[in-house]
Amino acid sequence: MKRNNIIGLLATVLLLSASCTNHHVTIDTTINEDGSCIREYTISVKIAGGQTMDGENMTTDYRKFNKFEDFTDQTMAFDDSWQKTWSHLNYTARHAFPADASSANDTLQAHATRHFVSVDEMNSNIPLLWNGKPYSVKGELKKTFKWFYTEYTYTETYASLASEFSVPCKDYVDEETMRYWFTGKPDMLAGMAGYEASEKMNDLSNRMEEWGMANLIYDWCDIVAENYDSLQNAPLTRQEFLDKRPELVKYAKQESYGMTIGGKSWEDMMNEFFKSDVYGKMFAEGTPYSNRLGELIMEKYGSDANYDYRLHMPGTIMSVSSGMVDNGVAVFRISPQYMFVGDYVITATSQVTNYWAYIISILVIALAIGSFIYNKKR
């Protein structure tokens, strides 16, 4: 795979990931009254039908989905502690692997289920990955007794991923704009005419493209620096090379590298900027460094991972943050992009009615009334 263009390559990766990914992931978390919990990941894969980008009919061979790992990609890593089953879409029956290809219908579902004694144990076993690493998640369950009911508040905090980017996004846009780009909130286009919104989005898109290009350059330089001892006739010391990163970012923008698909190659930029071919040829097709860069682009920049998260709480859900309540279940959307701007927090509060408290209260009131009447008659 030739690295001919930075953002051109990124755009291609993003386009392909969006058009070719045909699996959908749902996370169901159940919080029990005793503090234990159950988590289940359901991966739905459309195995037949659909069209390619060119409008041609597309069929996925369902026979390759005969074990659980066939349903996953580089964003997931489930160990043997998870109970793994499969089912047909809209059927409740669960089956052990391998999947029965002979009776496969339009969509197959793989399920990974596990019971946990506490929310701490559950959130220390996250099988979802971003950039090759598990998400850092902290869960907290508060149980408050209020006589007639018991209140449960569950909070899940996904740690910020902003530090994973060497060049801060705030160097290109303000925080409000950054939050809009990655989360859709606040709505910065409210009240704008179509042409005004288009102009604003074009400007924002260009700025975010520059931010992505800058970070990819830094990532590329990090790969070179990690393997600097293997270079022969390098024109700079390792530290001198790293010190050149800000200049390289400016040069790439100035010379319009990566701003359009086509044009001068990535290798050309390296050779011209450093006046040497030592660094560019490291990433020739098929080299370990080229493969590593490809993996990095897919794991860090090319992931289109989005998860529908359903939280089942004890009793009746009274309130949620960053989500909604649907048929008694708190529903959220989880995406790594939400964490690019800071911690992402989901919270739900529910109430369990203590019927025994009403019974005791009625008995106490009845006893008090009876005692009052009895004493009055005396």
pLDDT tens string 162-181:
999 999 999 999 989 888 88
Give residue 120's pLDDT.
92
On whether residue 26 sits in a domain, the answer given is yes
DSSP at 61: -
Domain count, the chain: 2
102 with 218, same domain: the answer is no
Give residue 12's pLDDT.
43
Distances (CA, A) of 204 to 27, 184, 198, 341: 32, 13, 10, 16
On whether residue 375 sits in a domain, the answer given is no
36 with 64, same domain: the answer is yes
Rg (CA), the chain: 27
58 with 80, same domain: the answer is yes
Q: In percent, how much of the chain has pLDDT > 90?
A: 44
Note the pLDDT tens digit of each residue in 208-236.
888 988 998 899 899 999 999 999 899 99
96 with 201, same domain: the answer is no
- Looking at the DSSP bridge assignments, the partners of residue 31 are 37
DSSP at 99: P
75 with 152, same domain: the answer is yes
DSSP at 76: B
99 with 191, same domain: the answer is no
On whether residue 368 sits in a domain, the answer given is no
Give residue 378's pLDDT.
63
155 with 93, same domain: the answer is yes
253 with 207, same domain: the answer is yes
Helix 194-226 / helix 6-20 crossing angle, nearest 10 deg: 110
d(CA 96, CA 12): 37
The residue among 318 and 98 whose pLDDT is bigger is 318
Identify the H or E element spanning 275: none
Q: Which domain holds residue 46?
A: 6-163+304-357
